[in-house]
Structure 1
Amino acid sequence: MRKFFSFASAIATVAAVALPAAAPAQATESQCSAGQFCVWSEANFNGQFKVAQAPLGKCFSPQTTWPNGTNTRIGAISNRTQFQIEGFDNGQCSGQASSVLKPNTTAGSIGASLQTIRLVPACDQNQLCFYENADFSGKTWAVSGMTGTLCYNATATNAQAPHAAYNRDYRSMKLWTTQGFCGGPNYVLPSGQWSGFNDAVYAITP
């Protein structure tokens, strides 16, 4: 997987980032506060600054209108949210992400190869990640290396059952809500998708 240092110019089929106006200020990385997804118009956190309003899962182009009225590609990013930012080489945020910016990390320069980005729950490639709460908050854990169609435990080491999941495995997963075995009611979570659940999940089969 490539480093998250290349975003493409805007494309017509994807909406530009919707960002609120901000008062002019000297650009520094420290402008970005905890919980925020921040962007700058120039590399190394220089130029115009904005806090991005990016709903979870929304696919958008790395091009925006800045407080001074100019419309250019993002030059740097700071991700201080609990989520990760995924970058794609296509215009639909489809398939596996080609680049990932983890929570509480930054990208000081943005190239020209990626076309779209989105904010998603934090999860590594080839893992099935679980979250304590349906809004992806609280304790998190992951399962990987699953083979065949065996029944795997979905609970955390303290027996905590998850209420949300993100599937970054290449296969669809069945998530079972019956405690103790793989059978009965279940959710099907396709590869590359995430969801919160009304019922707790106790077991998994690929």
Structure 2
Amino acid sequence: MGLYEDALERFKALLQEAREHPDIGEPTAMTLATTTAAGRPSARTVLLKQIDERGFVFYTNTRSRKGRQLAENPRAALTFFWAPLVRQVLVEGDVAPVADAEADAYFASRPRLSQIGAWASQQSEPLSGRDEFEARVAELEARFDGREVPRPPHWTGYRIRPDLIEFWHGREGRLHDRDRYHLEDGEWRWMLLNP
């Protein structure tokens, strides 16, 4: 097994441990950091929907703030923090949209109200009041009544292809363990880091 595969297996094992922990309500929650082309950063919490050798996948509105930033600068960082495990994982890498067929399949698996919400939300845009949004939801529920809700053209998945995966394990006295897998000159390398 190569270093990249080893890093992914370590991550998957931690994610499974987080899923099994009774005090972790949303084990797939991750902070997604993006920047504009000018380098202005922003961060928000999204949910991991898939992890495999191709990378880490989440879904969103492409017209949202994060979608616009990823179009300007297709790099991102993810942070998973599982406080009860005293564990954190940092992932950095290039970002690309998933294939349409992959986005279609995932969208079809979502609850119907979430599908309607993807059409109704003009994510990150100003809203005059909750009534405005609820009226759009009602209009779309009527429009798609009795039929499947197709994936909106402005909604897709993004895959972060890692070039860095860093593991942190908190220890007493802040004498933490940190180690990093990173891509350098086309090869994966591993190193220990000071806490």
Normalization by structure 1: what TM-score?
0.23
TM-score normalised per structure 2: 0.24
Structure number having the greater strand percentage: 2
- Structure with greater helix percent: 2
- Larger RCO: Structure 1 or Structure 2 (Cα < 8 Å, ≥ 6 residues apart)? 2
